[in-house]
Chains A and B, each alone.
Chain A
Amino acid sequence: MKVGDVVSDRYRVTGTIGSGGMQDVYLAEDLLIGVDVALKTPQPGQQNKRFSQSAIIAAKVNHHNVAKTLDYIEENGRLFLIEEFVPGETLDVKLDRFGAVDPHLAARVFHHLSKGVAASHHAGVVHRDLKPSNVIAEPGVNLHHLKITDFGIATLTAEVFADAAKDGDLTRSTSGTIRGALPFMAPEMMFRAPGDHPGPEADIWSLGAMMFKVMTGIYPFGVYLQAAVNVQTRNRAQWPSFMTRNAQYQPLATELQSVVDACLSYDAKDRPTADDLVRQISGVCYINVHRSEGVINNLIQNGYSGFINEGADPVFFSMESVYGERRPAIQKNNRVCYSKFPGSPRYRGHPIVVID
């Protein structure tokens, strides 16, 4: 596809969003309704039947934390899935900037993703490939309006997985699709026998593995094939001490850790359901105040506190408010994500997270 191509007299390609392992994704304008949409089309060599099946599965889920499936078109032998376009970046791109997300913002992410997963499970749809690159968040540092995308992708990847499983060991696969999914993949997916169809519990594991990465910046089982080895030997990374070192973050961090621990139960039946998760997290208290992004330009009190540059109105902060391994400084690590509250003579920032 190229810019200017029009599909079904309705969708005009205006740019490229990216390409996954199985499909290419373009930005397009819906000429009928006048909104931007994401246009997905299978890469050459993909089976059309599977692509159309994946669209039908994705279309069953109807929830605001899931990117909506809007249209499906077959034209001149080519297949197109039209999905709601969510402006922003995928969660993996956000995580690269954040390193570790503080427990308050992480709780929000967990809450919204649990809602989306619960709605899809109610519709009888299991994602089977939940990972940060399949979650889209609004531009900036707020991580609002999270939407899970690529429901139905498992239909496309099923064959890749089935072939690999036939060889007896998924983890020996050289497929990029499998290698990319491994860090967040449930054990029953990794080590399934031919004919096994892992259920909704697999999504709960993936959600837990994702939240581990969100709060710590660490892959709970490492990456690529190392992840499979570590899942098999039950060798998960420890929760890093920075999460609970500060008394201001410790209670919420501990609360979220225990929920994630349950999601990462090796036995699928020990994991909470998505409804259980929603119930638990909807009662969790977190600081849900608008986040800003700023640059630290002044440290005082021997580096114990400092100011975030907001032009005429700098925001005061204390090092005590910083979450994560990275400490703010003037030269390096000077960009932060923060919320601010009234104070004199300056607003006070909290929580503070160093971002790239």
Chain B
Amino acid sequence: MTVTIANRYEPTGNTDAGGMGEILECVDLHLKRRVIIKRLQLGIDERRLLDEQKALVKVRSKHVVQLYDIVELDSGKKANKAIVLEYIDGNNLAIGAFAPDRTYLGVIWQIACGLRDIHHAGVIHRDIKPTNIRLDSEGVVKIIDFGLARSRDEAKTRGVVGTPVFMAPELWGNDTVSFNSSIDVYAFGVTALALLNQRVPAELGSMPPKPVSVSSLVATFPKIPNEIMATLVSCLEHTPAHRPTMAAVQKIIERRLLENAHRALVVMDGKIHHLDSKSRKITLNAGSVGSIAIEYNGYEFTVVTVSGNVFINNTVAKMGTSMPGCCVITFGTGSNRRFVTFDVSHPEVMP
């Protein structure tokens, strides 16, 4: 027999296997769509969890699941609060599911974007791991299962029986240790490695985790670009303060996703030239006044040679100067100055 919840949510009978009955899939009879209802555990954490859920609504991140409603669940003795969330059509991420390719980088970039948004709302997720991240049918990463009823003690207990590998070293300490959003950064680092189809180094899997050497990580994941690996290594720092912010991590991955995708439009004397990954270098000559050569290195456009009087946005052009996004290159100083426009653009990285 199914009981309709709050006069509008009818259980479909599907429950999350790992959820031990905490998670109910229902149909919202008002809007004829599926929703997910999650029971909050009784106790002091209920208020904190509801406050966090409300804080997350205000961030309006595309990577956070929408909260629709808060209802009372009758569970025999006591009324128990539950949250009604949007149903995400898609699949949870699985350990070992990705090859180290562009698709993978796109996914970890989205996870980083989501965690940046969550931290921006002042919320710590507390349980980042592949199975708490869902990829919806439009290819958008959704971070799910927000630290629901997982106080630090519980996380510890659960960890030992379940998923210790994602827990930051400081969580393994004594009960009085405090933690901050950098535990999510650590968990992100482990998650990013666990998603790859290679075994993570044993140091990460020991309880508590041991520091892992850069050389063993590089040897295990040779196809991960250097700067991405360096970032993941810093996420795994045992000193929380040494871990980067998720905003910084997101920027580094985004830069990589734009590798070789930029384009510069160069207009000299009304003539249009393009610089991109296929045509990387241009030399601009203004007779005896000066000349400049600019080359694309896959990330930015830099001055490789310059001679005579050449200025970029009115600053003397020097070898190694990186071109500002949009600028004017000026040859000469007098009334016979010649101007060249140089505009850098790139595709927008979007989920």
Q: Which residues of A contact B (CB under 8 A)?
A: 32-35, 55-56, 59-60, 62-64, 68-73, 84, 104, 108, 111-112, 115, 118-119, 122, 247-248, 250-252, 282-289, 318, 320, 339, 341-346, 348, 350
Contacts and interface: CB of A to CB of B under 8 A. Distances in A.
A247 B270 contact: yes
A33 B54 contact: yes
A356 B350 CA distance: 31
Interface string B247-279: 000000000000001110101001110100000
Contacts of B154: none
Nearest 9 CB-CB pairings of A with B: A343-B313, A64-B62, A285-B345, A59-B31, A341-B324, A344-B315, A285-B263, A350-B326, A247-B267
A248 B263 CA distance: 13
Interface string B53-87: 11001101010001111100000000000000010
B140 interface: yes
A343 B137 contact: no
Contact of A248 (B89, B140, B271, B343): B343
Interface residues of B, number: 47
A142 B148 CA distance: 36
Given A248-B343, A285-B263, A320-B341, A71 B69 contact: yes
Contact of A348 (B33, B62, B267, B328): B328
Given A62-B88, A287-B344, A343-B315, 4 more contacts: A32-B70, A34-B58, A348-B314, A348-B324
A285 B347 contact: yes
B346 interface: yes
The CB with the most chain A CB atoms within 10 A, among B33, B53, B326, B328, is that of B326
Contacts of B57: 33-35
A341 B69 contact: no
B313 A32 contact: no
Contacts of B272: 247, 250-251
B175 interface: no
B343 A343 contact: no
Contacts of A119: 138
A33 B70 contact: yes
Nearest to A112: B350
A248 B328 CA distance: 11
A285 B262 contact: yes
From A118, A284, A348, residue with most partner B Cβ within 10 Å: A348
Nearest to B88: A62
23 contacts: A32-B69, A32-B70, A35-B58, A59-B33, A63-B140, A68-B66, A70-B68, A73-B30, A111-B350, A112-B350, A247-B270, A247-B341, A282-B347, A285-B345, A286-B346, A287-B326, A287-B344, A289-B325, A341-B324, A343-B314, A343-B315, A344-B315, A350-B343
Contacts of B138: 62-63, 118-119, 122
Contacts of B344: 287
A124 to B, nearest CB: 12
Contacts of B328: 318, 348
A69 B31 contact: yes
A265 B343 CA distance: 32
Nearest to A56: B32
A50 B261 CA distance: 47
Nearest to B349: A282
Contacts of A318: 328
Contacts of A287: 325-326, 343-345
Nearest to B262: A285
A295 B265 CA distance: 28
Contacts of A343: 313-315, 324, 327
Contacts of A112: 350
B31 to A, nearest CB: 4
A288 B313 CA distance: 19
Most chain B CB inside 10 Å of its own CB: which residue of A33, A34, A119 = A33
A20 to B, nearest CB: 20
B198 to A, nearest CB: 29
A341 B313 contact: yes
Nearest to B30: A72
Contacts of A247: 267, 270-272, 341
Nearest to B264: A285
Contacts of B262: 285
Given A64-B62, A108-B348, A341 B31 contact: no
